[in-house]
Amino acid sequence: MQPFVYEALPTRVVFGSGTVGQLRAEAERLGVRRVLVLSTPGRGEAQAREIAALLGDLAVGVHAGAVMHTPVNVTEKALQVVEELGADAVVAVGGGSTTGLGKAIALRTDLPQIVLPTTYAGSEMTPILGETQDGVKTTQRTPKVLPEVVIYDVDLTLGLPPAIAATSGVNAMAHAVEALYARDRNPVTSLMAEDGIRSLAQALPKIVGDPQDNEARTDALYGAWLCGACLGAVGMALHHKLCHVLGGSFDLPHAETHTIVLPHAVAYNAPAAPEAMERIARALGTSDAAQGLFALAGRLGAKQALRDIGMPADGIGQAVKAAVASPYWNPRPIEEVGLRDLLTRAWNGDPPRA
């Protein structure tokens, strides 16, 4: 076995059904008294108001301003609300957009965070924040943005539409996939990654077939937790770099972008990471990791072409240049010709090719 470093992250996790009922106790445990609840607009705001009611007199209000890719100007508006209400903590209710806003606030204020995930985004388990400004998405890793408490309540995910559950779940799988060939991978995260992929790969088709399958929803949320913990423990590679470029440059939907790009990024890296590919394929119950991921997305009814989610054809060259200009570490060298082929196939919706 190769030498390794494993650093456990100090987040308290509460997992189960009905666990949202422990929210006030968790807030009191943190010693906070003026909690601002964060959400996205619309349905997210209605849910956030229900959560605020559970906090009782500890809640000072709801701010339903979270949007995809955590734009800096959106964070600035939220900070004004934090200051006006004198909030001493935030509770983020929702998916990656709301979690991102909570992290952005914590980065600037060091306020404690409690996260109640309603999707399988996984970002609640990471010290990573991605922010967008002027069409460019940048990421940073700092303990300041790691939530203090994550409350996983399976009941909060039952209303997640199957189509969104599918892409959110594949997005979570992407975290575990890249953990298996990360530069700083270790045996602990590799075990978690393989089990996370397996749990989601088995649960997502069941959720699409029966959205009220509680056991499948539980397995999916468990898998998302594992995958998120992997992303929090080790570094990212080509797949995440491409998705950050595409999301920041063209404002593409986050989970759908990950779902489309993942099989192609895996195919690109397959020759340089055979052990990781074997583990991914085993978790999927297939013989080829990239093709297995592409087939899974198809079974889930997810979109498989970047052109179908709003990316312009002339954006391929722009994305390639951005990815090559400031690449993440990757097991296979980042080459412009190979990336252009990868993104062209992803734009067309073609099967991945090594």
12-157 and 163-348: identical CATH topology: no
Amino acid 284: pLDDT: 98
How many residues can be counted in the chain?
354
Domain ranges of the chain: 12-157, 163-348
3-state secondary structure of 94: strand
What CATH code is assigned to 12-157? 3.40.50.1970
pLDDT of residue 8: 82
Backbone dihedral region for residue 110 (phi beyond 0: left; psi -120 to 50: alpha; all else: beta): left
Please give the residue that has the higher pLDDT: either 101 or 248: 101
Confidence at residue 17, expressed as pLDDT on a 0 to 100 scale = 97
Least confident of 6-15, 59-68, 102-111, 297-306: 6-15
The pLDDT, as a whole number, for residue 193 is 98
- CA dist., res. 289 & res. 326, Å (int): 27
The residues, ordered by sequence, that sit 6+ positions from 247 with a Cβ below 8 Å of its Cβ are: 68, 69, 132, 137, 254, 257
- Span 232-242, mean pLDDT? 94
| Contact between 95 and 66 (Cβ < 8 Å) | no
pLDDT score recorded for residue 36:
98
- What does each C-alpha distance from 319 to 264, 268, 272 come to in angstroms? 15, 16, 23
163-348: CATH topology is Dehydroquinate synthase-like, alpha domain (1.20.1090)
Instruction: Give SS3 for 149.
Output: strand
Task: Say if residue 5's pLDDT is above 80.
Answer: yes
pLDDT value of position 139: 87
> What pTM was estimated for this model as a whole?
0.92
pLDDT average, residue stretch 129-141: 90
Q: How does pLDDT run across 188-222, given as a tens digit for each residue?
A: 999 999 999 999 999 999 999 999 999 999 999 99
Say whether pLDDT at 1 is over 90.
no
Q: What is the DSSP string of 222-260?
A: HHHHHHHHHHHHS---HHHHHHHHHHHHH---HHHHHHH
